Structure 1
Amino acid sequence: MSPRADVLALDDDALASLANRGIVKRASREVADGRGPAVTDDAGTLTATFADGTLVVLPPSTVLEEARCSCPASGVCRHRVMLVLAYRAAGDDGGAGDPPAADEPAAAGDPGADAAAAGAAAWSPGAFTDAELEAHLGTRPLAAARRAQRAGYRARVRRATAADPIASVELASCTVRFLVARELGYARVDAARGERADAVALAVWACRTADASGDAAAVVELQVGGTGSAAGGSGAEPVLAVIEDLLADGVAATAPAAATAIAAVRRALEAVNLRWHVDLLDDLADQVDAYRTRSARYDPALAAAYAAEAIARHRSATGGGAALRVQVLGTEETAETPLRLLRLTGLGARVHGDESSRTVEVYLAHGEARVVLALRRRADAGGGAAPTAAELGRRKAGRARLSAIAAGNVVTESAVRAANRIVRIADSRVARTTVAPSGGRWDDLPPDLVVEDLEAEAARLAALPPSLVRARVVADTVRAVRVTAVEDLHFRPGTQQLVATIRAPHGTARLVASHSAATPGAIDALARALSGDTGEVRFVAGHLRRAGGGVDLEPTAVAAGSDVVVPAFAEASGEALGAGAPAPDDALAAAVSEALALTAELVHRGHRHLAPGWAARAGASAEVLRRTGLTAAAAAVDALAAAVRAGGTELVDRWADAHIRLLVTAEQL
């Protein structure tokens, strides 16, 4: 009798995706203790009979979620899981479901032979036909998927490998995992049921496009479909008018009027779903509001960066890079997507703000999707003092404290994911959220989220497109770095930074943590953790960025001993730290930083209100850039100075040329 290859292919990870890891562990213990069911196979219909009379029936061509169980539980209960475990065990012992021996010729089309070969032979979800998709999904979801394909969408395809036999596709707002090879019914979408019925078709077409591209890499990022061209513009032209006004009179002179104009343009772009421009307009509006309220949150460099980003995305979409339009504009992104049951691992937090407000971001690794999500909370002082770091840690999301979420394992049924990967956890009595300490057991995270080779990570970061035109996703560079040693730990009083060298199994990174009034205890707590006071340092999580040809790490959490230390929520201890040598001078970085501050003045003051000596200062800055070898950046600054003197219509373009070039150069230093 041919075995049920689909059932044999359900390993423990796949079962945990269908049920949860706790159910799988309990079911495994009961089967190992001899309390498993008796399983029979009648022409492909599996029947599991339990000692207490519970009966599970799994007919042919039926997925486990649709198996009939006589117990009152909904979903994939432990009885259904035990059916699979017992059937697998019987196959291992030579009973029902035992695949053919190696020297036994298998019948053509024998699913047992297919299952045996699946681990070695390459398989792609792109092999599913459109007819199979329509039969599985229905006409309406497939029609919605075809509309999305015509518009174009971005996807990251992870092919099945011997180490990880589950193929997956990350779409803009959800992830699709193909738990069983050649079984469409086991394609799992992490969006809530009914929210993204078209996602499976989009994932299959993405795999099909990746297969046809000839790219044999295990992970392929690509755009699928899309018939738009640059001739019709980007759709973000209204933003350019706002930027032109800011460059004319500056944030300082037009704060109230600029806020009104930004709000009107945001509504227009929301209607056509230019998601990344909507997102950056929110950031720009926050900067304008911060200046209007005289908040320390206002940063002229940030305001200028957002203005330059708006122009860069428009240029990329209209300048012959039509294949990048989906990624650059975010047109296929869904504002929010409710997710089904999630298992997340806290990777720490970051707090920033001023005396009027604090913003906390908690970073959560979503292992199944191989991405990091961010939970964001903003707390206003409301006329009093801003909340302390410890008080922020006691704030709740889904009835769990942020400090516990940042350091624990989270299981939630009430998460909603935004396009920029910010996740919102609702306070629901029906869809509960539970948190348990993780103990820093991050070894179970997928390789995509755990860095062991920092030299390879530096190469990966260097190969990324400029951040000005990448997808605007929060925590895209947050990873857990496996640590073998912490060296040269010291404090730099001049820059108020804790610095150390983090040694991984392959390569090193420079850890840099800057003191902030919003997190007065962070440096002390981080120093204690890195020095080994709380146990051996096993992982450091944080934001990775390329610097000086290597990698810099801004830490968010440390897994030391059996604890996870989240410095952002620590109380100040007042301990004295040993001082180290000051940071060496970096002539290139200093030249670029000075030029960026100079060109950012146009967004802050406006070219109509620049100080009389601005053009001369720009010329001097260009000369410094030229002496350091950055001749193209120097020419761009010179051209901007000439445009300011002339006051012509080309000033906006010359400012964008200079500021965009300087921002991209700064990323590569």
Structure 2
Amino acid sequence: MRTDLLGLTADSLAALTNRGLVKRAGKEAAPELRTDDDGTVHGSFPDGVTASLPPGGLDVARCTCGAAGVCRHVIGVILAYQRLPAEASPEPLPWSPGQVTDDELTARIGARLMAAARRTERTGFTARVRRATPADPVPQVELATATVRFLVPGDLGFVHTDTVAGSRDDVIALAVWAFRVADELHPGVLEVRVDVGGEAEAGTGSGIERALGLAGTVLREGAVNLGQGLDATIADVRRHLDAAGLRWPLLAVGDLADQLASYRDRSAHYRPELLAGHIAELHARHRAVTRPDATLRSSVLGTAEAAETPLRRARLESLGCRIRGLGDQRIAEVYLAHSDSAMVLVLRRQWDGDDDGPALAQRRIASSTLAALSTGNLVTESAVRSASRTVRLATGRISKTTVSPSRGDWNDLPQSLRVTDFAALNRELDALPLRPIRPRVEAELVRAITIAGVQSLTYAPGDQRLDAVITDPLGNTATIRATHTGAAPGRLDSLATALADEDLRFVSGVVSRSAGGIVIEPLALAANGQVIVPDLQPPGGSHRLTLTEAAHPDPLTTALIDTRSLLAEATHHGLSHLPPTYDTRLTTAAHHLTTLGLHRIAHAVTTFATTRTHNSDETTEQTWIDAYLRLDVALDLN
């Protein structure tokens, strides 16, 4: 009896091939079956075609029809075998992929890929393990570069990954090892994040020391006093980080360089707080992996990340679009849910000019339009995912991309991308690592949120901001918050209209917290069997809103923001070029923080002010880092 073939569900077969092929196979005339002593199943079809399935997975299947890869006849043989009268068999024992031996892994992926997996293990990597449940009987592991699903218990021939077949089969070994760690440390836990391998090393350096040197130069001299002479140093640092596979510091240095270039170009994209944040982030990542209780390097430095990962045939469901204006440029970001890997990817396009969202909606992207991509389902064989979870459609294979309208039925998304309980979402946000040392991935907090009702809808004219208080099915509340921008003139009107619709089911957006409550920055809404993207809608609407006064930040938040801005001036002017009044302003800010009870942050600011006049440049830089990180983290947690 071929238990592997009997264990394949329609969803498993669709994952290994595609859903259309499974449907076609189901319509074929049933083949005549026979089984060899070694377990090979043969199927003879009425038209003379024969297909054979030896043990070992679909890759070893053969068919006389001449099709490349797995064909409908092979699937037809599996479906016919599953319809045979069931033989009596014992109840299957609980199984974990962690039970797979290294010898079995080597036989499946080969010695070369096993060696590659061992190198990754020595460096260390982080994985999210999801055990099988009655609702989802397929155990899976979410890695940085791929999601691995074990479709048939105990059979590595039926393992599915979302990468191109053969390109990253070493991830199968990484997934097995992740399950071993989960089985040992967290037995019975249905979903858990584990660190595998990579002994955390303290005091041996981080590998980003060159980047810290660059950050120190920027901090001492400031954006105002740095010209293009630093470009060669930046390029050298980026080459070094790229060669070492330090993905997150590499992205931080790239953003730092963009801020310096934006200042030179007098671009609206330049903000001292962003420049200061990138400098502080590099130091935070260095400290996290070199302190006595060091964090696993792979999760902080991105050493387990592939620069790019080509995806096999992928189905991506749009969760909307954001239009941003930066000076005379417009940037569109389409958010695409990839269910196989339980993550949201970002497709980004940029155009020169001042066109707004409604005009950009008809711009062509690949074989479709921005509007269609933002409200549709994308099926593609040309998608390439980056380490930061941006996605591009590889040139030359655009013809293999199709787009169909979405009905906004986001209940089918993976549970980790859906929100039905704001209290549970709060706990999820609590468990996140601090932002300066988190993986640098796009759209990590984009979710599809179930809306049970809209309690209130208000508009603050002074801030040009719309706030809607919504409830989840359990009665918990959150706030949808959107602000007007010239790049998306219909955002607020269309959002207000959609929120008044009685058939509104979902909102997608970026979730965060403010003053202890959940806040959602909306991207799209699902109502009446369609997806509405506010940023692509024209202005105009008749929905009447309740006016309210602009909300003023509480005194604590205001003090934190003002002090962070004061510290960010150091990266703008440079520590060596600050005005004479700067120290007095620091002292005043520290006193105000003390009055509000923020004693540790106040002490860090005071220490920075003291070292500016009594210590070396290096000590001054470190105390600035201490103070800025404390302020940045406090604002994130507020």
TM-score (structure 1 length as normaliser): 0.90
Counterparts in 2 of 1:126-205, with a 5 A limit? 126-205=98-177
Aligned counterpart in structure 2 of residue 569 of structure 1, from 523, 536, 539: 536
- Residues 18 and 76, structure 1, Cα contact 8 Å, conserved in 2: no
> Residue 476 of structure 1 aligns with which residue?
444
Instruction: Give the 3 Å change call, closer, same or farther, for CA 490–145 of structure 1 in structure 2.
Output: same
3-state SS of 2:83 partner: helix
Please state if 1:290 is matched with 2:290. Answer: no
Aligned to 1:400: 368
Fraction of identical pairs, as percent:
43
Distance in 1 of aligned mates of 2:58 and 2:4: 9
Pair 1:22–1:491, CA change in 2 (3 A):
farther
Instruction: Give yes or no for contact 1:154–1:223 (8 Å, CA) kept in 2.
Output: yes
**Whole-angstrom distance in 2 between the partners of 1:578 and 1:269:** 51
The one-character-per-residue Cα deviations of 1:28-67 (angstroms, maximum 9, x if unpaired) are 4x37xxx4444444543333343434333223x1323432
Cα drift, residue 337 of structure 1: 1.4
Check the 8 A contact 1:390/1:571 in 2, yes or no: yes
SS in structure 1 opposite 2:415? coil
| Cα distance in 2, alignment partners of residues 579 and 615 from structure 1 | 45
Determine the C-alpha separation between the residues in 2 that align with 1:321 and 1:336. Answer: 31
The structure-2 alpha-carbon separation of the partners of 1:441 and 1:505, relative to structure 1 and needing over 3 Å to count, comes to same
Q: Distance in 2 between matches of 1:522 and 1:25?
A: 41
Equivalent position SS for 1:545: strand
Contact map agreement 1:49 1:56 (CA 8 A) in 2: yes
Q: Does 1:81 pair with 2:75? A: yes
Offset at 1:504? Answer: 1.6
Please say if 1:68 is aligned against 2:62: yes
Amino acid at match of 2:15: S
Match of residue 56, structure 1, among 51, 55, 60:
51
Alignment partner of 2:441: what SS? coil
1:337 aligns with 2:309: yes
The residue matched to 1:273 in structure 2 has which SS?
A: coil
Query: Which residue identity does 2:526 align to in structure 1?
Result: A
The whole-number CA distance in structure 2 between the counterparts of 1:290 and 1:392 is: 24
Match of 1:273 in 2: 245
Instruction: Check whether the contact 2:383–2:392 (CA below 8 A) recurs between aligned residues.
Output: yes
Please, which moves more after superposition, 396-405 or 570-579?
A: 570-579
Counterpart mapping for 1:16-415 below 5 A: 16-28=14-26, 30=27, 35-43=29-37, 44-59=39-54, 61-90=55-84, 95=85, 98-100=86-88, 112-113=89-90, 116-117=91-92, 121=94, 123-214=95-186, 216-227=188-199, 229-379=201-351, 381=352, 385-415=353-383
In 2, Cα distance between equivalents of 1:230 and 1:54: 63
The verdict on how the C-alpha distance between 1:85 and 1:463 changes in structure 2, with shifts beyond 3 A counting, is same
The Cα shift of 1:515 comes to 1.7
Cα displacement string for residues 594-625 of structure 1 (whole angstroms, at most 9, x for unaligned residues)? 11111111111112222322222222222222
| 1:522 and 2:497 are equivalent in the alignment | no
Q: In angstroms, what is the RMSD of aligned CA positions?
A: 2.1
Q: Tell me what 1:107 maps to.
A: none
Aligned partner of residue 341 in structure 2, secondary structure: coil
Within 1, Cα distance between the matches of 2:620 and 2:325? 34
Q: Choose which of 466, 470, 476 in structure 1 pairs with 2:434.
A: 466
Following TM superposition, by how much is the alpha carbon of 1:414 offset from its aligned partner in structure 2, in angstroms? 0.7
The change in CA–CA distance for 1:208 and 1:307 in structure 2 (over 3 A counts) is: same
Partner of 2:500: 531
Supply the AA of the counterpart residue of 2:577: H
What 5-or-longer segments of structure 1 have no aligned partner? 101-111
Contact 2:214–2:233, Cα closer than 8 Å, also in 1: yes
Q: AA paired with 2:64?
A: S
- SS at the partner of 1:468? helix
1:651 aligns with 2:623: no
Distance in 2 separating the partners of 1:77 and 1:557: 38
Match of 1:510 in 2: 479
Q: Point out where structure 2 has 5 or more consecutive residues left out of the alignment.
A: none
Q: Tell me the CA shift for residue 579 of structure 1.
A: 4.4
Whole-Å separation in 2 of the counterparts to 1:579 and 1:426: 47
Tell me the distance in 1 between the aligned counterparts of 2:491 and 2:407.
20
CA distance in 1, matches of 2:338, 2:345: 7
1 CA distance for matches of 2:225 and 2:41? 74
Match of 2:384 among 416, 419, 422: 416
- Alpha-carbon distance in 2 for matches of 1:257, 1:576: 55
Question: Quick one: distance in 2 between partners of 1:5 and 1:63?
Answer: 12
Trace 1:534-553 onto structure 2 (pairs within 5 A).
Answer: 536-553=503-520
Residues 236-259 of structure 1: CA deviation (Å, up to 9, x unaligned): 111222222222221122143344
**Equivalent position amino acid for 2:149 in 1:** R
Distance 1:490 1:79, change over 3 A: farther
Query: Structure 2 vs 1, CA of residues 227 and 459 (structure 1 numbering), >3 Å: closer, same or farther?
Result: closer
Equivalent residues of 2:58, 2:157 under 8 A apart? no
Name the SS of the counterpart of 2:482 in structure 1.
strand
Alpha-carbon distance between aligned partners in 1 of 2:621 and 2:422, rounded to the nearest angstrom: 40
SS of 1:117's equivalent?
Answer: coil
- The question of whether the paired residues in 2 share the 8 Å contact of 1:255 and 1:291 is answered with no
Map 1:580-595 to 2 at 5 A: 580-582=547-549, 583=551, 585-595=553-563
Do the aligned residues in 2 keep the contact of 1:295 with 1:356 (CA within 8 Å)? no
Q: CA deviation at 1:360?
A: 1.8
CA contact (8 A) 2:56 2:155 kept: no
Count how many residue pairs are aligned between Structure 1 and Structure 2: 634
From the superposition, tell whether residues 528 and 430 of structure 1 become closer, same or farther in structure 2 (CA, over 3 Å).
Answer: closer
Q: Which amino acid aligns with 1:588?
A: L
What is the SS of the residue equivalent to 2:436? coil
Counterpart for residue 663 of structure 1: 632
